[in-house]
Amino acid sequence: MSNTPASKTFTLTDDDNGQSWQYPVLEGTAGPGVIDIRKLYADTGHFTFDPSFTATGSCKSRITYIDGEEGILMHRGYTIEDLAEKSNFMEVAYLLLYGDLPNQKQRSKFDHDITYHTMVHEQINYFFRGFRRDAHPMAIMCGIVAALSAFYHDSLDIWDPDQREISAHRLIAKIPTLAAMTLKYSLGQPFMYPRNDLSYSENFLYMCFGLPAEPYRINPVLANAMDKILILHADHEQNASTSTVRLAGSSQANPFACISAGIACLWGPAHGGANQEVLEMLDQIGTKDRIPEFIEKAKDKDDPFRLMGFGHRVYKNFDPRAGVLKKACDEVLNDLGINDPRLELAMELERIALEDEYFVERKLFPNVDFYSGIILKAMGFPTSMFTVLFAVARTVGWISQWKEMIEEPALRIGRPRQLYTGPAKRSYVPVEDRD
Ligand code: CMC
């Protein structure tokens, strides 16, 4: 890893013998500096202890910046609000992958490169048949994306920049096709081949909701909302699934396997699975008069219930993505003429929670998942597909972060250490002598 010049140092002193060591503080473009402790173990014989990584920078990255206190999210220096309003998903994908917004020529080439890879190997159709029809779509996604490495042998050499690029394009291009196939499979409907005359988001909606028996009319409001949803979920710095992708990639595993690992991590309800849980929670609450009961449950430490869609490890302010999504949600519901009582319920829940001392004190604000479920439901997606949509968008972030890591001059396998609290050394006792 190349070194960022240190602006100052931190001194660590052993209180027992007075010995001290100095560690450089590396400064990034924004955000807190980091104390470079790579020599700490060699110097002191100690590890640091930071389970769940609340104070650990695991890498250098030029892709995404979050200021959780201020509620700021930027990709390559552009705010998420700016990108969501003025850009589109293909441009954002290019930005994340290559570092700058594309000019017109680069944009057309990128569109072409992604479009060129939207179809999947025909044999993958048969692969689907091995899954039960009622399998959770995320279970299918984990398996089918990992299986891509069995189909595209020609782009698995991670040390070849061209192969890395082709794999990245393949993943970005094929993930919506696979996601749509997962939906179709669960519905018992035929798979729809991609249409390369449509935009990324239009094509995705077409593959999800089109039928061979009749023409599919693109609703521009829905296509625009889908594009926004994809932009908002595209990357989020070193979150759990991205760190999973990086850790898997650090062993030099192929990118398809790494993205599959990311999908598995995203599935959990504390991460990408929360959007599904929000909707289920709103259904469980049912009516506004029951909100206080559920607020009390969320505050009760003996009750495992949490207010889903609330709180974030990094944001201690409004998640900037939630505001954009709420607006898109209004547009979609208005266009479709849907009067979903869940939206009103969500708004009331948000109002009550934001006035409650428990949530205020802990700086628990609505996150991106709070409104995404309502909008996705209105668009016609079953609840079980919500996290899959998150995975479609996040694939761009994962593969950009993976590429950045592989391109670091000195890639080393990730290997956290631990505080061992198990038994000390003991002798083996033959089974007949055990109590
Ligand atoms: N409802 C009730 N209490 C909460 C909630 C919640 N949703 N979130 C955090 N708390 C409390 C928590 O009990 C703790 O209280 P105390 O200090 O009294 O023990 C305090 O707030 C700090 O919480 P934490 O668990 O230490 O925070 P964390 O950073 O480990 O967890 C989180 C972050 C997102 C997992 C958590 O806020 C949560 O479970 N939220 C609900 C699930 C959710 O919406 N997840 C989507 C995250 S955004 C999408 C993504 O990026 O994947």
pLDDT tens sequence for the chain (435 residues): 444 566 799 999 999 999 999 999 999 999 999 999 999 999 999 999 999 999 999 999 999 999 999 999 999 999 999 999 999 999 999 999 999 999 999 999 999 999 989 999 999 999 999 999 999 999 999 999 999 999 999 999 999 999 999 999 999 999 999 999 999 999 999 999 999 999 999 999 999 999 999 999 999 999 999 999 999 999 999 999 999 999 999 999 999 999 999 999 999 988 888 888 899 999 999 999 999 999 999 999 999 999 999 999 889 888 899 889 888 888 898 898 888 888 889 889 989 999 999 999 999 998 888 888 889 988 999 999 999 999 999 999 999 999 999 999 888 999 999 999 999 999 999 999 999
* Among 49, 33, 43, 42, CA closest to 12: 43
CA distance 93 to 90: 5
Contacts of 21 (CB under 8 A, 6+ apart): 11, 12, 39, 40, 43, 44
Residue 107 identity? R
- How confident is the model at residue 343, as a pLDDT? 82
**369 given a catalytic annotation:** yes
**236 given a catalytic annotation:** no
CB 329 within 8 A of CB 338: no
**Tokens (6 digits) for 424:** 């000390």
- How confident is the model at residue 5, as a pLDDT? 60
Q: What is the pTM (predicted TM-score) of this model?
A: 0.92
Location of structure tokens 């959990």: 268
Q: Which of 313, 315, 316, 358 to mutate to test the pocket of ligand 1 (most atoms within 8 A of CB)?
A: 313
For the chain, helix, strand, coil in percent to 5 are 55, 5, 40
**Is the minimum distance from the CB of 312 to ligand 1 under 6 angstroms?**
yes
Nearest-CA residue for ligand 1 atom 26 is: 313
**Is the minimum distance from the CB of 310 to ligand 1 under 6 angstroms?**
yes
Strand partners, 65: 74
**Is the minimum distance from the CB of 271 to ligand 1 under 6 angstroms?**
yes
- How confident is the model at residue 341, as a pLDDT? 87
CB 419 within 8 A of CB 49: yes
CA distance 265 to 278: 18
CA distance 95 to 195: 24
Nearest-CA residue for ligand 1 atom 28 is: 313
Q: Which of 75, 233, 236, 312 is labelled catalytic?
A: 312
CA distances from 291 to 56, 151, 296, 346 (A): 37, 50, 9, 10
Atom number in ligand 1 closest to CA 54:
29
